[in-house]
A and B are shown apart, each in its own frame.
Chain A
Amino acid sequence: MEAASVPTARRTPPAPAPTPRRSRGAGAIAFSATKVGVLLLAVAWIVPLALLAVTPMKSFEEYSDTSQWSLPSDPLQLFDNMKEAWDSAGLGSAFLASLSYGLVGALVAILCGALGAYAITRLELKGRFFWFLLVFSGTLFPFQMYLIPLFQLYTDTQLYDTWIGMALFYSAIAVPFCLFVMRGFFSTIPPEIEDAAKLDGASSWGILWRVLMPLARGPIAVLILFQFTWIWNDFMFGLVLSTSDGVRPIMPALVGLQGSSSTAGPPVVLAGALIGSLPTIALFLLLGRYLLSGLTLTATGKDE
């Protein structure tokens, strides 16, 4: 039903000239029908977000005695629930651990990707495309392909359940996309820009740091946002490669809080989910434009 009215909606505003007058009335009705449809869908999209925001404002008694649809009687309960979530199941230390993984992982990956991209686009190198494909193929596999040998490798080398082990893995998994973006960006910069620096006797290292990297601030911002969000939201690798508080990232800690062995009530669990979601929501609201351009970058390989 909605499908039929879509093209009408598309036609009505942008084509005033060739559209015959008679279709206007019917078009307007169809257009407002699609409007209502979209608004209903928007409400359906808001409700779970509201659950995430409102339930942590209720006490456990209030949650069990009233409907989930009811509004909280004492919204300040939010801070009690957030504090309880932060203190239980190691969520607070997991929050800080994930913060460090996200920042370190993104920066190390961008550094390695930029070095590699520079060599591939600028230096005398045999098999440029081979090196690119080799590293880029690292993300082509479903993540399930990494789990078993990684777990074995980590237990054999004492990297299992260590901060450095987690940071190394998160850096590695972010590298291929960083290489992809930096290589694309460097190849759009005309080589003449480096000529002045070369005449001054700058080394390849100096050209990379003084000429190219300052130009790449835009792509680097996109990469930090994208990789930080990815690392922050990861659940599976944190679950497999770590167990103890202080090493375990935020999402496995949140799931531990929700799990069957936990005694926390739904308001506290959802307060934990809120804590785990606030950083990425804030990033999106503040810098959403960059996230979206990163998204089109992943999909099409072009910066829109």
Chain B
Amino acid sequence: MAAPLARPAPAGAAPSAPAREAGLAPPPAGSRRRALRRLTPYLYLLPMVLLVGIFLLYPAVKTVWVAFTDATGTSAGSFVGFDNFSRLVNDPAFRTSVRNTVYWVIGALVLQVGLGLLLALILSNMRAGDWLKRLFYLPATLSGAAVGVIWFYVFNPDQGLLTSFLDAVGLESLTTRWLADPPINTFAMIFAATWQGLGPAMILFLVGLQNLPREPIEAARVDGARGLRLFWHVTLPLLRPMSAVVVAITLINNFKVFDLIWVMTQGGPYRSSETLAVSMYRESFVTFAVGYGASIAVVLTLIVTILSVFYLRSMFRKVEVY
């Protein structure tokens, strides 16, 4: 007990100092102390490895196992092979869920990445830019749950902001029960997510624009390229490393949206606005088909992993470029 307590602070240096002064050879216990000293670095790793191992890595690995069982809320279940996965393929709710997830990903790509790039291009040359950047980023500091609460009232079909605005400008024919009619409800929530997610995409593009090399752009200008042609043939290719990062982050984040959807529709009505993340939660913690829920988590992970590889590759390519 005493040795491990004394060891981290001196790590051999303090006790050996008097020994050195006295001109003594290393004491016989030296080999034990040396072994301890070799162990010290690993003690520094211990807290972090324990925390991550117990609370993140063990659960992640175990979910893969659970996905191959018929576990429920009360029993650990037994191994059933690929049954859960073949059930997924034939489950209409899962197909709706996949379709909505694709909507989310494409919508996020077009709205968040597209608008983010557009805003970055405009604001980088605008005098009130700093003020506007703050405004567009502000919703990103709110939680998905709070954003869901706000937009739940914006989309209120009777007296919500959107409905009363459309009434006021004479477009009441366009109004609908925003959060009740599929697929409008999914589009409505994608819009709320865009309100929240636009800021980070815009900021990353602004950083990318700031770090662009000046010479190729100047050279292209001298050669007479300007406007759309300059943007398309020079600026955009130079911006590619950052674009890849923004695209990947946006894709990965929007694959996993849970809180916003759970707050606004709970995936309903009749599971019409569920995504993979919401289906996973519903199967695992509402209907307690735990094994089945785990298989959805595994499918989600497979898709996100493929995208992450793309993300990491673009990150490493970025390192080579600069």
Contacts and interface: CB of A to CB of B under 8 A. Distances in A.
Contacts of B150: 48, 51-52, 270, 273
B101 to A, nearest CB: 12
A270 B153 contact: yes
A7 B230 contact: yes
Nearest to B117: A6
B8 interface: yes
B45 A146 contact: no
Interface string A22-58: 0000000000001100100110011111011001000
A296 interface: yes
B270 interface: no
Interface of A is mostly: helix
A8 B152 contact: no
A233 B40 contact: no
B36 interface: no
Interface string B158-195: 01110011001000000000000000000000000001
B66 to A, nearest CB: 6
A203 B13 contact: yes
Nearest to A27: B227
Contacts of B308: 140
B147 to A, nearest CB: 8
Contacts of B63: 145-149
B6 to A, nearest CB: 11
Interface of B is mostly: helix
Contact of A172 (B56, B139, B154, B156): B56
A110 B182 CA distance: 44
B238 to A, nearest CB: 13
Contacts of B8: 203, 205
A227 interface: no
A235 B49 CA distance: 25
A254 B249 contact: no
B138 A142 contact: no
A13 interface: yes
B141 A112 contact: no
B203 interface: yes
Interface in B242-282: 242, 245-246, 249, 255-256, 258-259, 262-263, 276-277, 280-281
Nearest to B229: A7
A148 B284 contact: yes
A301 B315 contact: yes
Interface string A249-271: 00110110010000000100110
Contacts of B17: 201
Contacts of A266: 153
A212 interface: no
A304 interface: yes
B15 to A, nearest CB: 11
Contacts of B161: 47-48, 51, 68-69
A204 interface: yes
B222 interface: yes
B103 interface: no
A137 B48 contact: no
B154 A254 contact: no
Contact of A119 (B45, B222, B235, B298): B45
B54 A172 contact: yes
A208 to B, nearest CB: 8
B249 A299 contact: yes
Contacts of B231: 6-7, 10
Nearest to A165: B55
A188 to B, nearest CB: 15
A9 interface: yes
A134 B49 contact: yes
A2 interface: yes
A284 interface: yes
Contact of A19 (B14, B119, B226): B226
Interface string B196-222: 000010011001000000000000011
A35 B72 CA distance: 57
Interface stretch (B25-33, B86-94, B122-130): B122-130
A144 B277 CA distance: 7
A206 interface: yes
A118 B11 CA distance: 15
Interface in A1-16: 2-4, 6-15
Given A141-B301, A142-B300, A169 B55 contact: yes
A284 B294 CA distance: 36
B121 A10 contact: yes
A65 B200 CA distance: 38
Interface of B: 8-11, 13-14, 17, 38, 40-42, 44-45, 47-49, 51-52, 54-60, 62-63, 66, 115, 118-119, 121-126, 132, 134-139, 141-146, 148-154, 156, 159-161, 164-165, 168, 195, 200, 203-204, 207, 221-222, 226-228, 230-231, 235, 242, 245-246, 249, 255-256, 258-259, 262-263, 276-277, 280-281, 284-285, 290, 293-294, 296-298, 300-301, 304-305, 308, 315, 318
Given A168-B55, A295-B204, 9 more contacts: A14-B125, A15-B226, A34-B122, A45-B135, A143-B258, A251-B259, A270-B153, A276-B146, A291-B141
Pick the 9 closest A-B CB pairs, nearest first.
A233-B143, A172-B55, A119-B44, A123-B41, A149-B59, A138-B56, A235-B259, A149-B62, A116-B48
28 contacts: A6-B231, A10-B121, A10-B231, A38-B126, A47-B161, A49-B139, A51-B153, A67-B164, A115-B44, A119-B44, A134-B49, A142-B277, A143-B256, A144-B276, A145-B301, A146-B56, A176-B56, A232-B143, A233-B143, A233-B146, A236-B259, A236-B281, A254-B146, A258-B263, A270-B150, A273-B150, A291-B141, A296-B203
